[in-house]
Structure 1
C-alpha cells in the first residue's frame, strides 16, 4: 500500500483538569480553577477522529498516560499541602496533545528510508517534562516494525524540544521527498521560547535528513509574547500549502523566500493582520487547525468552533473559500474542552506518514474501536473535576480504574 498520512489523536484522559500550569498558554491560564469535564472532552475528541475518518482519512490514536504520576512526585518529594502546583503537574492530562509527542520525518526524507520519530523532552514546562518515558513506550509499541520505523529517545534536556508543534513539512506527495521546516524560538519577553534551535538541529541530524531540504526558521518573538507558545498556533502546512499568519515568523519575507527556494511549488497563504489581528488568530486558534488533503486531492481546513464565532476569522475564511486558493473546504469541530486548556484540533494530533499495514493495528481507529472507546469513556470517565479534587485519593482511584478499563478494552494492557 502507498504511504498515507495517519493522524494519531490523543484520547483525552480521565484526569483532564484546568490547573493553569502552562505559562504562555493564555487559554490555560485564563481558565485556571474552572471545573473541567473529562467525559465531554474525550467524546469531543473522539467525534473529531470519527469526522476525519468520515472524510476518508486514515486515523489513529494514543491512549492517556498513567495519572497521577506518583513516581514523579516521589522524585520531587512533593505533597499537596506544600507543593500544589507540582501535585497538579502529576495529574496533568496534557499528553492528549499529541502534536507534542514527537517529531516525525517520513521515510522519503531520511537517509535510511525509514520513518524516524524522536520523542519530545518537553523540559520547559514541569508538568509535561515527565511525559516522555511513557510516550516513548507507546511509540515503540505502535511503531515496532524496525524495517519501517526508527523510534528515538529524547534530545538531551539541555535543549528544549516540543515535538511536531514546531515542525512542518512541504511535499508534492507523501511518497516524494519533502522539505522539513523546523521553527524555533529565542528566549526573552514575558513567556519562554519552548523550542531550542539546537534541539531541532540534533533531530535533523539523527533522522538523516538532507541538509539541502531542511530549513530552520525563527518564530516571531511578537507571536510568542502574544500567546503563540508553539508555531502551530500561527502556522500549519500540508502538501505544498503553507497557511500562516503574517506575524508568525521573525523575518516573514526571508522565511517565505527560503521556503519557496527550497520547495519551488510551495503555495503560501499568508493571512494579513489587517484581516485577522494576531490576538484574534491566537484566541480563535485559526491556525491550530488540521490542514488536510482529502482522498480526491482537495485541501480542507478543520477548525474549532471558536473560529465560526469570531467575526474577523469567519469573514476571512468565507472570503478565502470564494477565491481560487488551494484550501477549498472548511470543516468546523467542537473541541471546546481542549480549547479551554489551550489545545485546538492540530494540538490533538500527530501526523505520521506511513503504510498503515506497518503500524500496530491496535492503534488504528475503526468503527469497532471507536465504539469501544466511546463506551468506556461514557461509563468510566469522570463527568466533572473541580481543581480542589486534584490530589484526592477518591479521584485517583477513579482515574486509575478508568484508564485500566480502556487499556483492557483496546488490548493494550502492556501499557499499564
Structure 2
C-alpha cells in the first residue's frame, strides 16, 4: 500500500479579515459584529496553528486568500468607475454589499469543497467538488476563486479531479466538508463517507429549526457523492437535529468530528440520535471490518450552548506518525469550567482513544465563528499524490517564518467597518497577494495579475 497520509490544507487569512456579522445562524459572527479586527494577528494565529500541526508530524499545507474587496462583483451589481470609485460608491449606497464583497471568509476552507480520496473513488483519483455556498451572499462570492485555487494546487489530471460546483440554487445548497466526515480503519483504507444535511428535517414533534435556517440539503449531498465517484456502500446520509441548528450548530463540524476509526460527537448532533449512531456503527463495521470507537458526550455532561460557545468539537482530531491521536482545540475549551472539567475526565479515562489535547489561540477567527476545524480542508493523499503538488504550498518551520514575515510586511494591525471604504485597502491586498503567489510558486492566480 502507498504511504497515505491526511494533509490539512489551511486557508491563509486574508488582509481584509473583519467582523461584519454576515453569517446569520453563527452566534459568534452575529455577536461580534462591528468589532475592530486585527488582520495581522489573525493571519499569524492561523500560521501558528499550521506550524503546530507540522511540528507534530502531521502533513500541513495552505491555500491562499482570495482577492478582496471583490471589485468585479461590485461592478456586476451596477457600481462603475475606477476601482476606487466603485468601492467609494458601494460604501455610500450599499455598505452591506461592500461588506459582503470584502469578506475574508474563504479562510475557512472546511467549506471549500468535499473531498473523496483515491482509495474510495471509482477511477482511483482524488475528487473535489467545490461547495456552492448559496446560503450566504458573502460566501457564494468565493466559489469561482476557490475552484480556481483548487485547480492550481491539484493540477495533475491523472491524479486529481476538481469538478464544477453544483448549480447555485437553494435546493442544492452545499456547504462542503463542514458537513462531511470520512471514517476508516487507516487513512489509506476504504472509508465510510458520512454526509449530514439540515434542510427539510423535522424532529420527533414534526418541527424543523425555528430560530436559524438550515444550510445543507440532502439533494446536494447526493449529487456530491455521485460527482466524487463514491460507491453506494461507502455513503451514509444523516440529518442534523433541528434543536442543534437552533442552538448555533450551523455546520455539523461544530458538534461532531471524526478521524480514522474514532468519532467524537455530542448526543444531540443528529435527528433520532440513537438510531443514527447505531447506523453509523453498523455501516462502518460492514465497510471496514472494524469496530467504530464512539466518544459520546451526553447533554447532561455538556449542553448544546456550552458546545457552541467553546467549539470543542470544532477541533482537529489528527493521527500522529506513531499512530497516536490528538485533539487540536481552541483555547476556549480551557476557559469554560464545565468544558475543562469534562476534558479532565476524558483524558483521565484509560479507554479514551484521544491521547492528548493541544489548545491553540485562534481568537481572531473564533470571534467570527470559525475554529480550528473551520480553517482546514482534510485531503488524504499517497506519496505520489503529495509529490504532485506545488512545493510552495507545504508548511514547515522555515516556510512558516517566511510567511509570517510576509504577513507583518503587508497586513494592517486593525480594521474597522468604515475602513472597508478605503480604496488603499484594495491596493495593499493586491500587493500582498502578488508577493504571495511568488512565494507559493502558483503563478498568475488572480484576475488582477492577468
TM tier, shorter chain?
A: over 0.9
Pairing 1:223–2:244 present: yes
Could you tell me whether the CA contact under 8 Å between 1:14 and 1:403 is conserved in 2?
Answer: no
How much does 1:412 deviate?
2.7
Partner of 1:39: 40
Pairing 1:342–2:375 present: no
Aligned with residue 190 of structure 2, among 169, 173, 177: 177
Distance in 2 separating the partners of 1:37 and 1:213 = 43
Partner of 1:288: 314
Greater Cα radius of gyration, structure 1 or 2: 2
Partner of 2:151: 140
Distance in 1 separating the partners of 2:185 and 2:390 = 27
Could you tell me whether the CA contact under 8 Å between 2:390 and 2:441 is conserved in 1?
Answer: no
Aligned with residue 332 of structure 1, among 353, 359, 362: 359
- Matched ranges for 1:3-402 at <5 A: 3-77=4-78, 79-158=90-169, 159-186=172-199, 188-264=209-285, 265-323=291-349, 324-355=351-382, 356-402=386-432
TM-score, with structure 2 as normaliser? 0.91
How much does 1:256 deviate?
0.5
Q: Can you give the 5+ residue segments of structure 1 that lack an aligned partner in the other structure?
A: none
How much does 1:318 deviate?
1.1
Distance in 1 separating the partners of 2:156 and 2:344 = 44
Distance in 1 separating the partners of 2:68 and 2:435 = 14
Q: Deviations over 1:120-158 (max 9, x none)?
A: 111110001010111111101111112211111101112
How much does 1:200 deviate?
0.4
More deviation, 135-144/394-403? 394-403
Could you tell me whether the CA contact under 8 Å between 1:61 and 1:363 is conserved in 2?
Answer: yes
TM-score, with structure 1 as normaliser? 0.98
Cα-Cα RMSD? 1.1
Q: Deviations over 1:24-46 (max 9, x none)?
A: 01101100000000000000000
How much does 1:407 deviate?
2.1
How much does 1:390 deviate?
1.1
Could you tell me whether the CA contact under 8 Å between 2:181 and 2:257 is conserved in 1?
Answer: yes
Could you tell me whether the CA contact under 8 Å between 1:186 and 1:221 is conserved in 2?
Answer: no
Distance in 2 separating the partners of 1:368 and 1:333 = 20
Could you tell me whether the CA contact under 8 Å between 2:127 and 2:163 is conserved in 1?
Answer: yes
SS of the counterpart of 2:148?
Answer: helix
In the TM superposition, structure 1's runs of 4+ consecutive aligned residues that sit over 4 Å from their partners are none
Could you tell me whether the CA contact under 8 Å between 1:88 and 1:391 is conserved in 2?
Answer: no
Distance in 1 separating the partners of 2:374 and 2:257 = 11
How much does 1:103 deviate?
0.2
Partner of 1:408: 438
Aligned residues: 416
